[in-house]
């Protein structure tokens, strides 16, 4: 393939859709001269992150399907329809050779518009259970790249499915192996709920914050909603405890350094667990019980079955129970190492390259 190619990337709403897409973009760029265009929403996180990467960005109207009553449920179908016509116009003008769609509500109008114009489509699924958008769009896809081994997915998509793993940023791969830690230093616990934070985990942590910061260095990624509360609680701590507590609403570049320094991570079990896996980080996973199709519980079950993490159910957790589990794990280096070794086995360090090759093979 000697000609220059054009690829449309789409996906958004959360960092878990955006960063893997950008990892694939970087991998393709190394293999072939390519012109990229990213289609996202106007106000989503992708509208901030993608242009910073010097990638041409176009926004479209996006509708969201909610599982609860909202007046927006009556308006959003019209937004999605508008997004479809906007995507159709963009595709017609850009004339892409292929579409790579990572997930999120923005992908549906883009994929449908591409299918109607006979543009090949590669989907990627982050979880062991297909998201609502990807499940609907799978019938229009040329190939579906999946994060977990094929046996976890329905037989109806296996003729299209390719096991690639989840692409992650190269920064995580460069520091994939843990460095030997000083056994005399204060241990570090990283708490993260993803790019939007996790309210339930935050509230558990807030209740035990004085006890945690007496013993450990705590890095807490709260999300925007709980950041102000974390700051108020920080101001109530002693000077030593304040020194031991780093709170942030959201980070991007700093995440690699935070993971590198962590002895233990407390996290949800969405796609970000594969960043932990790439860096061999032992973790306590607390699945989001309201996640679509219960995918976080099912992701966590796979990690638990492979002895790769400790999984705790949110409904059964109390602040003291979480504290007890953190204390218990940190005092068991053999168990921490077992989790570290096993979670690393779950990673696919070459996932971005695998997907890049899959995409390029489909371009005629």
Domains of the chain, CATH where assigned:
5-166+349-362 (3.40.50.2000), 173-345 (3.40.50.2000)
Whether the CB-CB separation of 352 and 167 falls below 8 Å is answered with: yes
How much is the average pLDDT of 122-130? 92
Q: Among candidates 22, 68, 11, 88, which has minimal Cα distance to 252?
A: 22
**pTM score, two decimals?**
0.85
Q: Could you report the per-residue pLDDT of 216-254, keeping only the tens digit for each?
A: 999 999 988 999 999 999 999 999 999 999 999 988 788
3 band by pLDDT with thresholds 50, 70 and 90: confident
Q: What is the rounded distance in angstroms from the CA atom of residue 31 to the CA atom of residue 302?
A: 33
Checking if the pLDDT of 70 tops 80, the result is: no
Neighbours of 47 (CB within 10 A): 16
Q: What is the rounded distance in angstroms from the CA atom of residue 178 to the CA atom of residue 137?
A: 39
Contacts of 171 (CB under 8 A, 6+ apart): 253, 256
Q: What are phi and psi of 267, to 5 degrees?
A: -150, 160
Q: What Cα–Cα distance (Å) separates residue 69 from each residue in 65, 72, 73, 144, 257?
A: 10, 9, 7, 32, 41
Checking if the pLDDT of 175 tops 70, the result is: no
Cite the beta strand spans of 107-260 per DSSP E: 121-125, 143-146, 161-163, 188-192, 217-221, 245-248
Q: Could you report the per-residue pLDDT of 264-323, keeping only the tens digit for each?
A: 999 999 888 999 999 999 999 999 987 777 889 999 999 999 999 999 999 999 999 999
Contacts of 362 (CB under 8 A, 6+ apart): 98, 120, 122, 142, 143
């Amino acid at each position: 393939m000697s000609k220059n190619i054009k690829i449309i990337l789409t996906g958004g709403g959360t960092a878990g859709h955006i960063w893997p897409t950008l990892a694939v973009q970087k991998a393709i760029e190394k293999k072939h001269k390519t012109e990229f265009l990213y289609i996202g929403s106007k106000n989503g996180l992708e509208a901030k992150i993608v242009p910073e990467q010097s990638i041409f960005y176009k926004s479209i109207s996006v509708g969201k399907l909610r599982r609860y009553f909202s007046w927006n449920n009556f308006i959003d179908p019209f937004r999605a329809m508008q997004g479809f016509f906007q995507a159709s116009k963009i595709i017609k003008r850009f004339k892409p050779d292929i579409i790579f769609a990572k997930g999120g509500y923005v992908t549906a109008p883009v994929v449908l518009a591409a299918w109607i114009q006979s543009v090949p489509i590669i989907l990627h699924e982050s979880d062991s259970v297909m998201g609502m958008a990807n499940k609907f769009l799978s019938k229009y896809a040329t190939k579906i790249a999946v994060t977990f081994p094929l046996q976890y997915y329905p037989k109806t998509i296996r003729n299209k499915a390719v096991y690639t793993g989840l692409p992650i940023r190269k920064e995580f791969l460069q520091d994939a192996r843990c460095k030997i830690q000083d056994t005399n230093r204060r241990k570090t616990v990283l708490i993260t709920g993803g790019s939007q934070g996790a309210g339930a985990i935050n509230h558990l942590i807030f209740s035990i914050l004085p006890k945690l910061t007496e013993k450990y260095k705590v890095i807490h990624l709260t999300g925007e909603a709980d950041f102000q509360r974390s700051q108020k609680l920080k101001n109530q701590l002693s000077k030593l405890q304040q020194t031991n507590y780093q709170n942030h609403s959201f980070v991007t570049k700093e995440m690699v350094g935070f993971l590198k320094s962590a002895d233990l991570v407390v996290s949800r079990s969405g796609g970000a667990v594969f960043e932990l896996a790439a860096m061999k980080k032992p973790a306590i996973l607390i699945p989001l019980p309201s996640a679509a199709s219960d995918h976080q519980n099912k992701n966590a079950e796979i990690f638990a079955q492979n002895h790769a993490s400790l999984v705790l159910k949110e409904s059964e957790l109390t602040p003291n129970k979480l504290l007890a589990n953190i204390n218990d794990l940190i005092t068991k280096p053999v168990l921490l190492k077992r989790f570290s070794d096993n979670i690393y086995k779950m990673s696919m360090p070459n996932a971005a390259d695998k997907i890049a090759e899959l995409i390029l093979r489909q371009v005629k």
